[in-house]
Amino acid sequence: MGLHSTTQIGEVIRNAVTFNIKNWQANMTPSDSIIQDVKEILAYLAQRKVDYLLVGGIAMLQYVEGRNTQDLDLIMAVSSVESIPGLQITARDDNFLRARFRQLQLDILLTSNPLFAYVARHCANLVSAYDQPIRIASVEGLLLLKLYALPSLYHQGDFTRVGIDESEISALLYAYPTASPALLRTLTPYLEPADRPEITKILEELQTRAERFRRGRG
pLDDT at 16: 57
pLDDT at 79: 92
Domain with CATH 3.30.460 in the chain: 6-137
**CA dist., res. 75 & res. 53, Å (int):** 5
pLDDT at 67: 63
User: 90 and 98 in contact (C-beta within 8 Å)?
Assistant: yes
User: 144 and 156 in contact (C-beta within 8 Å)?
Assistant: no
User: 168 and 160 in contact (C-beta within 8 Å)?
Assistant: no
pLDDT at 126: 85
pLDDT at 132: 75
pLDDT at 24: 34
**CA dist., res. 60 & res. 163, Å (int):** 16
pLDDT at 162: 92
pLDDT at 32: 66
Angle of helix 159-175 relative to helix 139-156, nearest 10 degrees?
160
Tell me how far CA of residue 91 lies from CA of 19, 108, 109, 175, 199, in angstroms: 25, 10, 12, 35, 28
pLDDT at 5: 44
Q: What is the pLDDT of residues 56-79, one digit of tens each?
A: 888 888 888 766 677 889 999 999
pLDDT at 62: 84
pTM of the entire predicted model:
0.86
User: 174 and 213 in contact (C-beta within 8 Å)?
Assistant: yes
Q: Are strands 96-101 and 104-110 parallel, antiparallel or unpaired?
A: antiparallel
Q: Which ranges of the chain have pLDDT less than 70?
A: 1-32, 66-68, 129-130, 217-218
Classify domain 6-137 by CATH architecture: 2-Layer Sandwich (3.30)
pLDDT at 133: 81
